[in-house]
């Protein structure tokens, strides 16, 4: 008791002394409070554990190390010991999945270890590093984590600087229009409307603060989950350092261990989610233009597809379908009876997709504006004035999509469009874009799901929350039908709600190359369902460029041609012969390969694999592969190399190790080297991995045009065992969430005298077709008999020596015997 009184007295005396000191300083301008400039973590003197969280402090700042899974460790920094409330739009639920983990301490370090990775906290200086269980250091601080006070807005600029090894390469980061390997680049994340963007222009439309490092054959990822303007330097300023920092928020990052790039991408998907299964039709071909109107024009385009026998599923209405660009209205002059039009289009197999922008016209006679205003759903400036800016409709206000009530309201606004039969919604201008100003001012306030913040914090997630509101609304309204959404802006995790396209590109060969890189990069960054404006949005492609783009687009997870209004007609038949026939052949190929793409999509959705895979992702040990950016695989069985130069009659293609078949000639080629492939306009290099089973549908003008009576299985001989998968379900409902689907596995293994194909299946779905049509490619012997589940089956051999026969879809084993 006495001690206590004594302590209180001491404390009171100290406060008086301090006050006096401050009083003196007050009259001395030279001694005012100075901002904190670059403060570094000091010496960690203490470690505490709370379940899977470990806390370290230098007496003032605190660091939290969380074990998420065996491979994922999260690090957070609180400059003055108080962490921000835990909330993330990217990681909806942080599930703790590691089984065994522990804290060790010795004279040099604290160490948090799982069965896969160690996080070291050095006692001398608070350096944090990571190593694998062989004690191989994969990531190490070059200086301790640090921060700097932001005097204008409060909070801190937060920094993390790691060492960069001489041969370390970097991948990921979303849609950056630059070389695939980010080594030597400094880049920024701040969603930006970037009309006709250029090579190396930065930033663009999306912010994906996730990168993968590959060094000495080992990959790890860093996911810097911070929504503020963020910066990344991959050895640009100093080749020995990699840094990432943000203009606010918390220094919070996930270290994701590989050792393979594919492991890192899968773990990143575990944190941020994957795309839901799209309706099968959304994997078909889409035709877009700014804009097709009036109704007669839309019909003419639709008829053009059917007359030219070029498959197409999606037809788009850009902003001119609206009344004065007011969202959720129709221009009745151009579209007097949208319901009838959409119904007629649907009868011909077209799904109508309409555009929606976030800018709501200030107009008291417009119900959407009135509702938003009355309910205070629009964003406001710091002093409570409305945020107003000009976009297509003129003066607009903008819903605060970070408010859950606003998202619910927005989602409900699609009711009428859904009733009219609209099948998909295109979310545009959601960086958010504002004419003149570029975007909102920093002081705009956001509800941020209860974790309030200014636009500095909400800017990069605004577009993602818009498309989330759209997707969730459509999901409710469409009941059990899968909605289709597309968005321009996004943040990590946007894939849970939408596909994306790369924005306003240009009709140039350079942009064809860029598009190829951007799609690979997006796929590595969690956004597998992506595509470019085929043909280039602005400018005029010639027939050759358009055809080469269609060819690449055939292997884009999302395939849509789009163009600006001031360009010439841009449909797959617009360039005449020989282009129309080649465009048709490739769009048909897209439809033939739909079951393969759909199965690959399932592997993405369910197991977190990316759809497109860069060469480095297949063979990261080989340094030269870190610089390859033309070839990619589409799923894991088909290698594509688009033709990216005009007039190119042949090109070099690198094939990863193993045996490959030329898709066009059936010739078998050994991989692990470059091969020269002829590239006349009619083809691009396509190779199929030996041992693959590639399922194929008959050509259809649109998904569902015909009842599928038979699925073709293209089987590529290999003398080693290879597994392939086929996923089947209803293609448009959410029954797959109730496990109503079928996963089929094929195992192909060849010897010099026999080829065996085994099939096993799991699941509750029964496809309606009864049989497979087998097409066996590359058999090194002439067969004498084919045994299917022990029965002899008749077969034929075609001019390419492919062996063809038919058998039930329920087969268990096929043997093709010499």
504 binds ligand GLC (CB under 6 A): yes
Instruction: Give me the DSSP letters along 63-96.
Output: EEEEE-SSSEEEEEEETTS-PPPP--SS-S----
Which residue has tokens 């932001």? Answer: 150
∠ Cα 142 84 132 (to 5°): 40
Task: For 585-623, give the DSSP string.
Answer: HHHHHHHHTHHHHHHHHHHHHHH---SEEEHHHH-TTSG
Residue placing its CB nearer to ligand GLC in the complex, 486 or 582: 486
State the nearest-atom distance from the C-beta of 51 to ligand GLC, in Å: 46
Q: Which of 278, 349, 503, 671 binds ligand GLC (CB under 6 A)?
A: 503
Cβ nearer to ligand GLC, comparing 266 with 488? 488
SS3 of residue 724 by DSSP: strand
Which residues 6+ apart lie within 8 Å of 127 measured at CB? 120, 121, 140, 141, 143, 144
Task: Give me the numbers of helices (H) and strands (E) for the chain, helices first please.
Answer: 13, 54
Nearer to ligand GLC, 322 or 688 (CB): 322
Site for ligand GLC in 434-493 (CB under 6 A): 488
User: Judging by DSSP bridges, how do beta strands 710-716 and 771-777 pair with one another?
Assistant: parallel
Interface of this chain with ligand GLC, residues 336 to 395, rule: CB under 6 A: 355
Q: How many whole angstroms separate alpha carbon 312 and alpha carbon 383?
A: 50
Cβ neighbors of 277 (< 8 A, separation 6 or more) are: 482, 601, 602, 605, 729, 736
Our CB check for ligand GLC shows the closer of 141 and 318 to be 318
Give min distance, CB of 508 to ligand GLC, in A.
17
Residues ≥6 apart with Cβ < 8 Å to 720: 690, 691, 749, 750
Minimum distance from residue 494 beta carbon to ligand GLC (Å):
16
CA distance 714 to 596: 11
> Helix 338-347 to helix 295-308 angle, to the nearest 10 degrees?
0
Nearer to ligand GLC, 454 or 502 (CB): 502
Based on CB atoms, which residue is closest to ligand GLC, 318 or 631? 318
- Report the C-alpha gap between 132 and 153 in whole angstroms: 40
C-alpha Rg value of the chain to the nearest Å: 29
The phi, psi pair for 386, rounded to 5°, reads -70, 150
Does 318 sit near ligand GLC (CB under 6 A)? yes
What's the closest the beta carbon of residue 656 comes to ligand GLC, in angstroms?
A: 35
Q: Residue 624 and residue 622: Cα distance in Å, rounded?
A: 6
Q: Rule CB under 6 A: is residue 428 a binding residue for ligand GLC?
A: yes
Whether 60 sits among the annotated catalytic residues: the reply is: no
Q: How far apart, in Å, are the Cα atoms of 111 and each of 62, 104, 160, 349, 510? A: 16, 5, 19, 60, 48
Tokens of 702: 């649109």
Backbone torsions φ then ψ of 245, nearest 5 degrees: -155, 165
Q: Which is nearer to ligand GLC, 109 or 318 (CB)?
A: 318
Q: What are phi and psi of 639, to 5 degrees?
A: -100, 135
| 211 DSSP β-pair partners | 172, 222
Distance of closest approach, residue 289 Cβ to ligand GLC, in angstroms: 8
Q: Give the residue nearest to ligand GLC (CB).
A: 290
Comparing CB distances to ligand GLC, the nearer of 98 and 489 is 489
Positions 156 through 195 that interact with ligand GLC (CB under 6 A): none
Among 225, 431, 571, 619, the one annotated catalytic: 431
Site for ligand GLC (CB under 6 A): which residue of 77, 301, 317, 319? 319
Report, in Å, the least distance between residue 515 CB and ligand GLC.
14
Going by C-beta distance under 8 Å and a sequence separation of 6 or more, which residues neighbour residue 716? 661, 688, 689, 690, 691, 692, 693, 694, 748, 777, 778
Q: Which is nearer to ligand GLC, 501 or 772 (CB)?
A: 501
Name the minimum Å distance from CB 529 to ligand GLC: 17
Taking the C-alpha atoms of residue 264 and residue 262, their distance in angstroms, rounded to an integer, is 5
Q: Which of 168, 263, 504, 696 is catalytic?
A: 504
Interhelix angle 543-553/579-592, rounded to 10 degrees, is 0
The total of other beta-carbon atoms located within 10 Å of residue 572's CB is 26
Q: How far is the CB of 355 from ligand GLC (least distance, A)?
A: 6
Distance CA 460, CA 514 (A): 23
First-residue to last-residue Cα distance in the chain: 98
Minimal distance, residue 286 CB to ligand GLC, in Å: 12
Closest distance to ligand GLC from the beta carbon of 314 (Å): 14
Q: Encoding tokens for residue 212?
A: 């993968």
CA dist 567 and 696 (Å) reads 36
Residues 473, 476, 482, CA angle at the centre, nearest 5°? 95
Catalytic site residue from 64, 428, 631, 696: 428
> Helix-strand-coil percent breakdown of the chain, rounded to 5?
25, 30, 45
Whole-angstrom Cα distance, residue 318 to residue 642?
29
Q: Does 561 bind ligand GLC (CB under 6 A)?
A: no
Which CB sits closer to ligand GLC, 319 or 469?
319
The token pair that represents 500 in the structure block: 């994306």
Q: Which helix (H) or strand (E) holds 21?
A: helix 2-26
CB of 428 to ligand GLC, least distance (A): 5
Q: How far is the CB of 527 from ligand GLC (least distance, A)?
A: 17
Site size toward ligand GLC (CB under 6 A) is: 9
Based on the residue annotation, tell me whether 566 is a catalytic residue of this protein: no
Applying the rule CB under 6 A, the residues between 251 and 310 that interact with ligand GLC are 290
Q: Which is nearer to ligand GLC, 563 or 701 (CB)?
A: 563
Q: Is 636 a catalytic residue?
A: no
Specify the length of the chain in residues: 818
630 binds ligand GLC (CB under 6 A): no
Nearer to ligand GLC, 290 or 687 (CB): 290
CB of 176 or CB of 592, closer to ligand GLC: 176
Please state the closest distance from residue 332 (CB atom) to ligand GLC, in A.
Answer: 20
Site residues for ligand GLC per CB under 6 A: 290, 318-319, 355, 428, 488, 503-504, 562
Q: Which residues are catalytic?
A: 428, 431, 504
């Amino acid at each position: 008791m006495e001690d206590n009184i004594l302590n209180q007295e001491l404390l009171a005396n100290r406060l008086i002394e301090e006050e006096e000191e401050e009083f003196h300083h007050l009259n001395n301008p030279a001694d005012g409070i100075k901002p904190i400039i670059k403060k570094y973590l000091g010496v960690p003197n203490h470690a505490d554990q709370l379940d899977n969280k470990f806390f370290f402090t230098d007496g003032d700042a605190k660091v939290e190390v969380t074990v998420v899974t065996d491979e994922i460790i999260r690090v957070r920094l609180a400059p003055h010991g108080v962490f921000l409330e835990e909330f993330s739009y990217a990681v909806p639920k942080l599930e703790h999945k590691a089984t065994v983990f522990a804290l060790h301490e010795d004279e040099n370090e604290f160490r948090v270890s799982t069965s896969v990775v160690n996080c070291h906290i050095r006692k001398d200086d608070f350096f944090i590093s990571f190593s694998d269980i062989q004690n191989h250091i994969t990531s190490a601080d070059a200086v301790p984590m640090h921060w700097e006070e932001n005097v204008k807005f409060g909070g801190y600029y937060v920094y993390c600087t790691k060492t960069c090894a001489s041969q370390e390469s970097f991948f990921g980061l979303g849609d950056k229009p630059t070389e695939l390997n980010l080594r030597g680049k400094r880049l920024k994340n701040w969603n930006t409307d970037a009309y006709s963007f250029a090579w190396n222009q930065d930033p663009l439309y999306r912010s994906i603060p996730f990168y993968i490092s590959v060094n000495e054959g080992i990959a790890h990822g860093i996911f810097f989950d911070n929504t503020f303007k963020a910066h990344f330097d991959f050895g640009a300023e100093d080749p020995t350092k990699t840094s990432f920092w943000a203009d606010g928020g918390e220094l919070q990052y996930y270290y994701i261990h590989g050792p393979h790039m594919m492991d890192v991408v899968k773990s990143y998907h575990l944190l941020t989610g994957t795309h839901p299964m799209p309706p099968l039709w959304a994997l078909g071909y889409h035709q877009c233009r700014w804009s097709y109107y009036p109704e007669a024009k839309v019909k003419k385009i639709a008829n053009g597809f059917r007359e030219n026998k070029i498959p197409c599923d999606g037809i788009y209405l850009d902003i001119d379908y609206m009344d004065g660009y007011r969202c959720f209205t129709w221009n009745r002059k151009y579209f007097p009876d949208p319901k009838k039009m959409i119904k007629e289009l649907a009868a011909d197999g077209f799904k109508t997709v309409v555009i929606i922008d976030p800018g709501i016209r200030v107009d008291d006679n417009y119900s959407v504006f009135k509702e938003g205003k009355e309910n205070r759903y629009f964003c406001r400036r710091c002093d409570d004035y409305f945020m107003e800016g000009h976009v297509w409709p003129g003066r607009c206000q903008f819903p605060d999509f970070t408010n859950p009530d606003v998202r619910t309201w927005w989602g409900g606004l699609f009711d009428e469009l859904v009733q009219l039969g609209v099948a998909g919604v295109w979310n545009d201008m959601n960086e958010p874009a504002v004419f003149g100003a570029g975007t909102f001012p920093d002081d705009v306030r956001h509800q941020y799901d209860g974790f309030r913040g200014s636009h500095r914090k909400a800017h990069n997630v605004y577009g993602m929350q818009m498309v989330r509101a759209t997707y969730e609304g459509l999901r409710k309204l469409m009941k059990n039908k899968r909605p289709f959404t597309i968005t321009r802006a996004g943040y990590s995790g946007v894939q849970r709600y939408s596909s994306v396209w790369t924005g306003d590109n240009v009709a140039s060969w350079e942009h064809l190359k860029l598009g190829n890189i951007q799609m690979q990069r997006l796929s590595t960054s969690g956004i597998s369902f992506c595509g470019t404006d085929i043909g280039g949005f602005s400018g005029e492609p010639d027939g050759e460029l358009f055809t080469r783009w269609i060819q690449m687009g055939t292997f884009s997870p999302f395939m849509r041609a789009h163009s600006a209004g001031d360009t010439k007609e841009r449909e797959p038949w617009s360039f005449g012969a020989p282009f129309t026939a080649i465009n048709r052949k490739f769009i048909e190929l897209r439809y033939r390969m739909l079951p393969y793409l759909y199965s690959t999509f399932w592997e993405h959705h369910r197991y977190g694999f990316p759809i497109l895979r860069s060469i480095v992702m297949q063979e990261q040990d080989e340094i030269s592969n870190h610089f390859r950016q033309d070839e990619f695989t589409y799923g894991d069985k088909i290698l594509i190399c688009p033709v990216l130069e005009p007039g190119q009659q042949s090109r070099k293609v690198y094939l990863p190790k193993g045996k490959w078949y030329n898709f066009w000639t059936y010739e078998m080629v050994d991989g692990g080297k470059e091969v020269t492939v002829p590239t006349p306009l009619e083809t691009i290099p396509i190779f199929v991995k030996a041992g693959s089973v590639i399922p194929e549908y008959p050509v259809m003008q649109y998904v569902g045009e015909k009842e599928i009576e038979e699925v073709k299985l293209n089987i590529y001989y290999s003398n080693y065992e290879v597994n392939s998968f086929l996923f089947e379900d209803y293609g448009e409902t959410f029954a797959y969430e109730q496990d109503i689907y079928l996963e089929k596995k094929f195992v192909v293994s060849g010897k010099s005298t026999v080829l065996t194909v085994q099939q096993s299946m799991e699941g509750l779905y029964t496809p309606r077709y009864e049989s497979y049509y087998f097409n066996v490619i590359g058999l090194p012997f002439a067969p004498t008999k084919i045994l299917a589940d022990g029965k002899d089956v008749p077969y034929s051999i075609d001019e390419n020596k492919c062996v063809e026969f038919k058998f039930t879809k329920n087969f268990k084993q096929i043997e093709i015997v010499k």
